[in-house]
Each structure stands twice: as C-alpha cells, then as structure tokens.
Chains A and B, each alone.
Chain A
Amino acid sequence: MYWRWEYIFLILFENSINFYAGLRIGTSLNDKVKKKWLIFALVTNLGLLFFFKYFNFALTSLTPLAQVFNPRVQPYIVNIILPIGISFHTFTTLSYTMDVYRKKHQVENSFVKFSLYVTFFPLLLAGPIERATNLLDQFSTKKNFSSEQLIEGCKLIIWGLFKKVVIADRLAIYVNQIYGNPHSYSGSTLLLATMFFAFQIYCDFSGYTDIATGSARILGFRLMQNFNLPYMADSIGNFWKRWHISLSSWFADYLYKPLGGNRVSKSRWMLNIFIVFAVSGLWHGANWTFIIWGALHGFYYLLEYMGSLLLKFVGLEQRVTRSKIMHKLRIVAVFFLVLIAWVFFRSINIQDAFYITSHMFTGLNRMPYLGSSAFDTVLNIMLILLLYSIQILQYKGLFSIYYTPSKTPAFLRYVGYAILLVLIGLLGVNSREFIYFQF
C-alpha cells in the first residue's frame, strides 16, 4: 500500500461524481431521477473501492470455484496499488450523497467546499469518517485563530503522540515478532502478544485520531469523537458505541437501517446484524481474517442478545445489570471476547489465527517469552497500566482529554502533559506507519 501522485485524480473524480450527483439529487423534484443519481454514485464509488481493494481478493477467492469446472484455471493477480485511505474518503463522500438523498443535509453548491470536506488533510488518511452534517457546514463559517483552540489541539496531539510512539510502536516490536511465527511460541506468549496487540491497535488508531482531531482543532474545526474508552465497554453493543464510532455509526445509518434495522422479523434482524458486522470486517481489508473478525463480533452481539433474553426469562436481568461486581466482570469478559477476535484481525492468515486461538489459553503455567529485551517487555506492561490508569480517571470523569472541562486542577494537568512529553522524548520509538492507513 503506497501513495502515487496520479491518485489525486481518483479523489478528484470521486469528488466530482458525488458533488454532481448531490447537485442533481438536491435540485431534482423527481424521485426517480434522485434514485438514479444515488445509484450512479453508489455504483461508481463502490465500484472503484472494489477494484482497488477487493478485485484481487475476489479473483483469488473465486479461483478454487473455477477450478471445479476447469482444473487448468490458474490463480491470477492484477498489479494494483491500493490508494492510501481510499475506504475512508469513499465512505465520507458516500455519506454526503446519501444524506442529500434522504434530505438530512442540504445540497452543497460549492465544489471547493465540498472537496475541502472530503480531503480535509487530518482526516484523509484514516478518518474519522466525518459526516456532512458535522463537518461540511464548518467550512462555511469563517475560522479565526484562537489561543484556546491551540491549547486544546496541542493537548490532543500530545496525548495521541504518546499513545502512538510510546505505546503502540513499542508493543508492535513484540507483537510482530510473535505473530510473524506463532507456531514457535507457547500459549502464554501468544496470549501476551494478543493482549499487547489489543493495546497496540487501540493506541495506534486512537492516537492517530487524537492527532487528527487536535490538528483540526488548532485550525478551528471540531471533529467527532471516534473512540470513547472502548476497553471499558460492558457489552459488545457498548464496545461498538466506543470503538471507531464514526465507522460503526456509518454502518448503522447507511447499511443497518436500509436493511430494515430492528423493524423486521427477529430472524431477519439477526441476519441484518450479521451482515453489518461481516461487511464491517470486509471494509478493513480484503482477507478472510477480517471477515471472520467482523462475523465473530456479529456472533458475540447475537449471543449477548440471547443471553439478555435468557436473563429476562429467569428474572435475573435487573440484578445482573445493576450489580457493580457484575459490571466489572462484564468489562473483563467483553475485553477477552474482543481479544479473541483481535487474533483474526492481526493474523497473517486463517491457519495462524486458528492456531493462536486454540493455543493461547493453554500452557499458561509457563512463563511467556519476554522478547529480546525482558526490560522492554516489562516496560510495555507498565505503560499499558499507565494508559489504563489514565483511562480510569477519564472513565470516572476526573480527567478529560476531549473538549469537556476537567475536574483535575490545572497545574496537575500541566504536569501530566509535561510528563507525557518527556516520556515521548525518552521512550518514543521511530514511528511506523499507522495501522489504519492500510484500510
């Protein structure tokens, strides 16, 4: 996955299609014409996304099927370079067109403003997937530099950088080593590596989002919150309200609801849930590992739903939902369920993923491999604990990174941010690419 200057024309093309389709939808009084332009925009955008991201995957997946009819069929791969951030800007442009069609947003008459909205640099590579309702209108108001915004933005950037270069990139060293050759390691090592990956991906992606949000804030823009302490979720449904919020809400609005949402029969609703989660997995990458990751979350979601029905049936629902101990236990349980799903997300192939999931809870009495430097591994664990401590403070409302005021005294907060900066200087490792750039 690389960038090529020629791909600027791809974004321009997508922008033009959606801008023009939006104009035609917004100005036409004929519903059929509106629908025609919506379908045109959908087919063009999703067609481009399919070609660049899924074409080779489709070819290789269909090869075994073709070989049933003709054994001489050979696997064929087209040399395509995946444009960086294509899934993000395709979904951003599509949300605008669909919002105009649904009359949730008025048509934008300025191509420049529309293009600014789609290609706004902090969001272009890895989101959040902003909606026209939140961001597009912000380009219509004059932006003034303000010292208050500068401070707010810098706070977010420091926090994001800390998560990225101090936590995510350090954890990546261990995770890459273990996931590169999982068959050589014990169950306890696989479990430790998967736990590290859970925090690596969280810190990597939420770190990017914070840097993007902070950069936008300095320029006077307010972006939507993309993460809200996901590992504090006490249910899978709750997890998806806290993890990659811009994507999950996109799927809820533009896929789940058009499929009928929950206003259909129970069996159809269950199928809808499963489809949405599987597609969300596919959105992340053209690999069966991502589809299984998404489907697994769908399975968890449905399992949770049936569990809540069972509790209601036996009359224990109130007791379970109100109990503080049960709440904490649910947080731990959700974390482990998400952890198992992360194995599929991170593994190179399905075979590795199944090997890891079937071995990661075995041989736990053995000391895990502590990497080429045991000190670094222990340091990683301490950094995760530090992250968790800060998150608990956030969870309890004592400390705020985002726009809401903090209860912690200002001086302590300054010292906190100064410590983060010093830790970035001290423990930050040479930054790797953000994981979500590949999507």
Chain B
Amino acid sequence: MQIPLFTDLINDKLIKKNLLRIGLFLVIVIILDYFVSVILLQGVDLNYGLKGDSDILMIGHSHLMLALDKELLEKRSRLKVAKYTREGVNVSDRRVMIKHYFSTCTKKPGIVVLSIDPWLFSSEGLSKNSYLLFLPFIDTPEVRDYIKESVPKNFDYLKAKWIRCSRFNSTLLNASIRGYLKNWDNLKIGVLDTVILKHEIANGSYRAITFNHDLMEDFSNTLHFLKGENVKVILLNTPVFKPIITIQDHQYNRAMQIIDSIAQVSCPDASIIDLVPLFSDNNSLFFDPIHLNPTGQKVITEYFSEVLDSIFLK
C-alpha cells in the first residue's frame, strides 16, 4: 500500500538538499533568537538596575517612574539608585519585582522606596496582562512561578519559554534601548488641561478608589518580606491631580489609613511619605491627572532627596 505523503517524500529528488536548507534556516533562527533576546535582556537589566549593587531600590508603577529622577536623586544623595518601575504593575506585580530584584542583585539595597497610592487596593482597572512585562525574566524561579499563575493559556507560557524573542514587546524594547542609552528621562512633556479634566471628573470620568482584601494581603506580604530582608522601607505616595482626590475624599483617607495600619503591623519601621497634600494643588507639575511632567519630576525628586537626608540624619 502506498501512503501518499510518504511516497511523495521518497520521490522528492530535492528532499535532502531542502532538508539541509530548512535545517540551516532553523539554526539561523535559533541563534538569532537567542542573541537578540540576550542583547535585549542586557538592556532591560541596565534600565531597571537589575543584577547590580544599588543602595536605593525604587519599586513601583508609572506614577513613581515619572515622579522620581534616578540621575538627579543619585546626584543629590550620592547613592546608587536602581529604578525598577513599570507601567501598570499592581501590588502583586510589585511583590514579584522586589523578590526578583533581591534574587538577582549582587548587594542588597539599604533602602527600598515602594510606591503606594490611594488605588493600591482597587482591583478595577488593573491591567490583566502585566505579567507580560516579566516574560524576559522567565528563567528566574520567582518570576517563572508568577508567570505560570498569570498566563491565561499554557501555550503563552510555552511560547515565551521556547521562543525567546516573544518574551519582549515594544515596551520592553523601549526599556532595553533606554538601558543601553542610560536614558531615564521623563518624556511626558506638556501640562494637563485642567478645564477639560475638571469637567470630565465632575461627569464621573475618574478611577474610583475601592478596596480589595486580596490586594491588602499582597501588600502586607510585600512589607513582611522587606522587613525580613532588613532594609529601610519608604512608602511613597506621589502627587496626583487634586480634583480626583477631593471628589472621593473619604475613600482617599480610608486608603491611606489602611496603608498605615498594614505598615504598622507588617513593617513597623517603614516611613510613609505622602506628597499629595504638598503638591497636588500645583497643576503645572502634571502631564495628566496621575503622571508628572519633567518639571514635576524635578520638584518631587529634589524634595524627596531632602526627605532622604532627614531620614538618614535621624
């Protein structure tokens, strides 16, 4: 009996030559995939200050990313700073980031600046795919377990495992290029339009502060871990446009009280620095309601470096 495909393969005169071509092509793909991913990972590590020996570790999302200038802070404090901040990372992500940093650094940081905000326990509006930003570190055990838990389909995990370049995306490519260029500039140039925003907020177009117990537990675990690592913890609430706070004043106060009470239990030595009351009135510092522009970043960094000095003097 003749099996059609099998017979075709036997009769194919070019099969040997073409199998060699396919083999050569696959080797090129594998080599290229490996080297491109290694080069990109190196850039990402440089950007986030991973595998380094920093004195201060900043962990947080875009609020912190745009609020503190790494280079200015290093200049003012004369300490080495690792800025491990990414867009859209929630409390669980931040816990993984801290564990990831501590598992890869050559020297433990003395200070960890952990970003907090009134939406810390709000589960609504969080990105469901923030695990994508961890894919380049899939080979690190702490990150691997987290990715396995987060991926919607096992296929996504296997794809990232075997096709190394698929671990990256344009955000990480940007992070990698910036890492090589040693560029941590805040590029959110411009000032928010207060008239439009106030109107939108009045119409209910703002993110509501809500409370999720799982996220509170995650936050508590994070602080507990940091306490165990014996580092100085600073919980930093960066400024946001005042009207989105005043419209939900009660929830804001409640969120800050919960943060305070969790910190007192899980990490009593942690300092909470709330910059909202000090800077939220100054509209010229904001690019949008929750992100600072370069001017805002400079003002906040200078203020924060003074706070750091005072903490050290104590």
- A145-B9 in contact (CB<8A): yes
In Å, the complex CA distance between A148 and B9 comes to 11
- A425-B24 in contact (CB<8A): no
**What total count of A-B pairs have CB within 8 Å?**
71
- B171-A147 in contact (CB<8A): no
Q: Chain A residues near B205: list those with CB within 8 A.
A: none
Q: Name the contact of A146 in the complex, choosing from B14, B33, B164 (C-beta under 8 A).
A: B14
Q: Chain B residues near A364: list those with CB within 8 A.
A: none
In Å, the complex CA distance between A421 and B24 comes to 14
Q: Name the contact of A422 in the complex, choosing from B32, B170, B171 (C-beta under 8 A).
A: B32
- B187-A374 in contact (CB<8A): yes
In the complex, residue of chain A having the shortest beta-carbon distance to the beta carbon of B160: A425
- A422-B165 in contact (CB<8A): yes
Nearest CB of chain A from residue B108's CB, rounded to whole Å: 32
Q: Name the contact of B18 in the complex, choosing from A151, A418, A419 (C-beta under 8 A).
A: A151
Q: Is A373 an interface residue (CB 8 A)?
A: yes
B166-201 interface code vs A (CB 8 A; 1 in, 0 out): 101111011000000000000100000000000000
DSSP majority for the B interface? helix
In Å, the complex CA distance between A418 and B170 comes to 19
A141-174 interface code vs B (CB 8 A; 1 in, 0 out): 0001111101100000000000000000010000
Q: Is A417 an interface residue (CB 8 A)?
A: yes
Interface residues of B in 229-256 (CB under 8 A from A): none
- A427-B29 in contact (CB<8A): no
- A373-B171 in contact (CB<8A): yes
- B33-A425 in contact (CB<8A): yes
Q: Is B79 an interface residue (CB 8 A)?
A: no
Q: Chain B residues near A150: list those with CB within 8 A.
A: 18
Q: A147-B18, A148-B14, A150-B18 are in contact. Are A418 and B9 (CB under 8 A)?
A: no
Scoring B15, B22, B28, B40 by chain A CB atoms within 10 A of each residue's CB, the highest score goes to: B28
Q: Chain B residues near A373: list those with CB within 8 A.
A: 170-171, 174
Interface residues of A in 372-407 (CB under 8 A from B): 373-376, 379
Nearest CB of chain A from residue B308's CB, rounded to whole Å: 31
Q: Is B303 an interface residue (CB 8 A)?
A: no
Q: A147-B12, A147-B15, A147-B19 are in contact. Are A421 and B29 (CB under 8 A)?
A: yes
- B165-A415 in contact (CB<8A): no
Q: Chain B residues near A426: list those with CB within 8 A.
A: 36, 40, 165-166, 168-169, 173
Q: Chain A residues near B15: list those with CB within 8 A.
A: 147
Q: Chain A residues near B14: list those with CB within 8 A.
A: 146-148
- A415-B28 in contact (CB<8A): yes
- B8-A148 in contact (CB<8A): no
Q: Is A13 an interface residue (CB 8 A)?
A: no
Q: Is B21 an interface residue (CB 8 A)?
A: yes
Q: Chain B residues near A376: list those with CB within 8 A.
A: 170
DSSP majority for the A interface? helix
Q: Chain B residues near A170: list those with CB within 8 A.
A: 170
Q: Is A354 an interface residue (CB 8 A)?
A: no
- A148-B165 in contact (CB<8A): no
Interface residues of A in 353-375 (CB under 8 A from B): 373-375
B1-41 interface code vs A (CB 8 A; 1 in, 0 out): 00011001101101100110110110011001100100010
Q: A145-B12, A426-B168 are in contact. Are A419 and B163 (CB under 8 A)?
A: no
Q: Is A414 an interface residue (CB 8 A)?
A: yes
In Å, the complex CA distance between A375 and B174 comes to 7
In Å, the complex CA distance between A222 and B300 comes to 64
Q: Chain A residues near B4: list those with CB within 8 A.
A: 145
In Å, the complex CA distance between A237 and B8 comes to 44
Q: A146-B14, A373-B170, A375-B174 are in contact. Are A414 and B9 (CB under 8 A)?
A: no
- B28-A425 in contact (CB<8A): no
Q: Chain B residues near A146: list those with CB within 8 A.
A: 8, 12, 14
In Å, the complex CA distance between A88 and B168 comes to 37
Q: Chain A residues near B5: list those with CB within 8 A.
A: 145
Q: Chain B residues near A151: list those with CB within 8 A.
A: 18, 21-22
In Å, the complex CA distance between A415 and B25 comes to 8
- A145-B8 in contact (CB<8A): yes
- B8-A144 in contact (CB<8A): yes
Q: Chain B residues near A421: list those with CB within 8 A.
A: 29, 33
In Å, the complex CA distance between A417 and B32 comes to 11
In the complex, residue of chain A having the shortest beta-carbon distance to the beta carbon of B8: A145
- B25-A414 in contact (CB<8A): yes
In Å, the complex CA distance between A147 and B13 comes to 9
Nearest CB of chain A from residue B6's CB, rounded to whole Å: 9
B208-237 interface code vs A (CB 8 A; 1 in, 0 out): 000000000000000000000000000000
Q: A151-B22, A373-B171, A418-B32 are in contact. Are A425 and B12 (CB under 8 A)?
A: no
Nearest CB of chain B from residue A418's CB, rounded to whole Å: 4
In Å, the complex CA distance between A148 and B165 comes to 28
In Å, the complex CA distance between A148 and B24 comes to 15
In Å, the complex CA distance between A375 and B176 comes to 12
Q: Chain A residues near B36: list those with CB within 8 A.
A: 422, 426
- A414-B28 in contact (CB<8A): yes
Q: Chain B residues near A148: list those with CB within 8 A.
A: 12, 14, 18
Q: Chain A residues near B9: list those with CB within 8 A.
A: 145, 147
Q: Chain A residues near B170: list those with CB within 8 A.
A: 170, 373, 375-376, 379, 427
Interface residues of B in 269-288 (CB under 8 A from A): none
Q: Chain B residues near A144: list those with CB within 8 A.
A: 8, 11
In the complex, residue of chain A having the shortest beta-carbon distance to the beta carbon of B163: A425
**26 A–B contact pairs at CB < 8 A?**
A144-B8, A145-B5, A145-B12, A146-B12, A147-B15, A147-B18, A147-B22, A150-B18, A151-B18, A374-B187, A375-B170, A375-B174, A379-B173, A414-B25, A414-B28, A415-B28, A417-B25, A418-B25, A418-B28, A422-B33, A425-B165, A426-B36, A426-B165, A426-B168, A426-B169, A427-B170
Chain B residues within 8 Å of A, Cβ to Cβ: 4-5, 8-9, 11-12, 14-15, 18-19, 21-22, 24-25, 28-29, 32-33, 36, 40, 163-166, 168-171, 173-174, 187
- Given A148-B18, A375-B174, A425-B164, output 11 extra A-B contacts at Cβ < 8 Å: A144-B8, A146-B8, A146-B14, A375-B173, A376-B170, A410-B21, A414-B25, A419-B32, A421-B29, A422-B165, A427-B170
